[in-house]
Amino acid sequence: MPYFDHNATTPLADCAREAWLRIQTENWHNPSSPTRAAARARIRLESYHEAVAIMLGGEPSHYIFNSGATEGAHAVLAHWAQKLPAQARIAVSATEHACVLAAAGHYFPNRIDWLPHEGGGFVPPAAISNAIAAGAAGIVVMAANNETGVLQPWPEIAAACQRASVPYLCDATQWLGKLPGAGLGSNNTWIIASGHKFGAPKGVGFIKLPKSLPELQKPGGGLQQNGHRAGTEDLASIAAFTAALVEAEQKHVLWESQRLAWRDHFEKALLSSIPGLQVIGQQWERLWNTSLLIVPCGTQSQWVTKLDKADFQISTGAACTAGKEGPSHVLAALGLPAELARQALRISSGWQTTEQDWQELQAIFQKTNHSIMTSIGFIEHKT
């Protein structure tokens, strides 16, 4: 069954499964215990911190393994709310993931300034400089959008924030495992990420702390991970996370341009064969795997159901908002009319996706469009 919903989650990578099973068999002990077996588990844990730091930058002690980006967003923004001056305002991109927007709204109620963006949701570096000059005490801009795939200039944003000593939170969940991670962690930036977007298990991710290494958690609970996050570490899932990330970092060097070409050919073929179809963010640099389409007819549920029956799995947008009423907040932020936003379909491939999968998806898209158009024409004729 061709799977085109990788931005929602990915199948478990073989290397991740093997790493998970190996730890559950050999090093299942609590790393905080005083025994020799626990010491070996602790050494393993330290090696995973080191491996991630080598790939992304920064020091091993800067990385705190956790359950994923949702926990990370709340932990970071709760910390900012405690440490920034009273009534401080933060500047946020309106196209952030829902978990980030929810955390920002909770910890900074009525104290959010929305960053201006260009087409596709791209936040220009000048907007960051202007926000800082206007008094923003923190900046929140993701690395890559989960719905449109549009990439943000996170290196320039990080540099501007570092020059002004303003904290920057970057949600790298969709970037990590798809594009090179080198440099993400080498500056004074807060990073959050989830592993299940690139072949790791669900429920494991990390927070990357800035160089100042603030105390992240309030007193209470254990002192695991240098006192930043209480709770016994899930060593097996951390091992799987690290293995999947190492493999993904190797893949983008070999296959990224090839898979970008497959996606672009798919879009070009549909644009030329389906009148009225739109590709959101097409003029901007995007993730190689993501295509957000506005179809000219039919409902989202019709398309998803018809393609699912044909054994093709796609999405209408972010999985965390599936089933909610109303259009995507991302498309609303881009100014897309609600009636068009309700015609959005997200296609997101993975490293396992083949050129044939893309070709077959193109064919079934064209067939489905014809089927829906015929159905609409029949209904109109009967009435």
Annotated active-site positions, please?
A: 320
Residue 246 CB coordination number (10 Å) = 17
Angle between helices 69-83 and 98-107 (to 10 degrees): 20
Residue 164, judged by CB atoms within 10 A of its CB (0-12, 13-18, 19+), counts as: middle
Residue 321 has phi, psi (to 5 degrees) of -115, 10
> What is the rounded radius of gyration, in angstroms, for the C-alpha atoms of the chain?
22
Residue 258 CB coordination number (10 Å) = 10
Angle between helices 14-26 and 235-273 (to 10 degrees): 170
The answer to whether 185 and 198 have CB atoms below 8 angstroms apart is no
Q: How many residues does the chain have?
A: 383
Adjacent-strand bridge partners of 191: 170, 208
In the numeric block, the tokens 């599936």 are attached to: 322
